[in-house]
Structure 1
């Protein structure tokens, strides 16, 4: 939803969101009567519940990694069944920042070679990955041994707790922060170099999340989201 002029609605508001010129919203706790009142305003597009989201489980100048430790690495660059070599550009993601919106990252893990750092925590007071999922995802994105882009810079955006769950509004808050960081605060990715985002998490369909993702895409930032993990 966008905004409401009701002072009572403002009293229940907890967070505001603004991503580009596309998505403006707020979240909070409201009773049924207040929700009905808010929805009656012409400048409110829609209202939706704050769902719980969870981790998703279940060329030229090429460099080669032989006998790769992960089946998936070989599949990325080889059409031959049973291949065990991963071919990748020698730049290996250097100059690119990947924002991993998840449970956090173990930034001191040796596989990251000092390329991982903490960005922002939206779920608790522990700047650590107490679940492990975010570190696993970051390893797939840019780990030295298991990663696709072995030279990328990794930024932890923590939106899920030790149990691997969090609120949809918290996830959107992480998306908003990452977009501003990646765009240098002016809404365009060109201001701060190359950036990508990854969200390996899932929950019910959310129009708010979709609009936030569109705002990020429109700003020129690539976003990868998990799909196909549920039946």
Structure 2
């Protein structure tokens, strides 16, 4: 692995060169094993793989599975140490950096999903809420987060747990701004909702603010304008 003069990115120099001073006596291609070792070193020291938003989200979900469930879900802390399990056969076929930059990280990461488990069962990407909306779950923190507008959860006594872990619910105003955060929805309806209702119903009069949110109809829409 080398960084050519004037360049910031490293790449594989796939030749073994014999020199006498400045004179090049011979040059031979590196063996596949040597190229692979050089690429692994590059993966450890530089950002080579293309981590799309989808790839990062998948990694976060799998990391959550390892924290919450443990085996057979692998740790995501040292992915390069697991290269044999998810970067092959592309890694052994690669001859330079660009070959790995083109790798489909999402497809590769899915090789780490244990054959005996289903990712959608252990860490679903979305959750359907009472309004019928399918809301994406954020697994980037220690606790999975569901960010959803408050009116969409009317009638929901308690959110389901994910792999035994309570969802951290970010209740949003009709404008999508945070209004409250809770991991205990039942307690929020009993103790926190009244103050949120008092604060926001004047600001958002076209949205429902029932006195009893558990018997109200969940909705993602505002009330029609009068007249």
TM-score range, shorter chain: under 0.3
> Relative to total residues, which structure has the larger strand share, 1 or 2?
1
What's the TM-score, normalizing by structure 1?
A: 0.19
> Relative to total residues, which structure has the larger helix share, 1 or 2?
2
What's the TM-score, normalizing by structure 2?
A: 0.20
- Larger Rg belongs to: 2
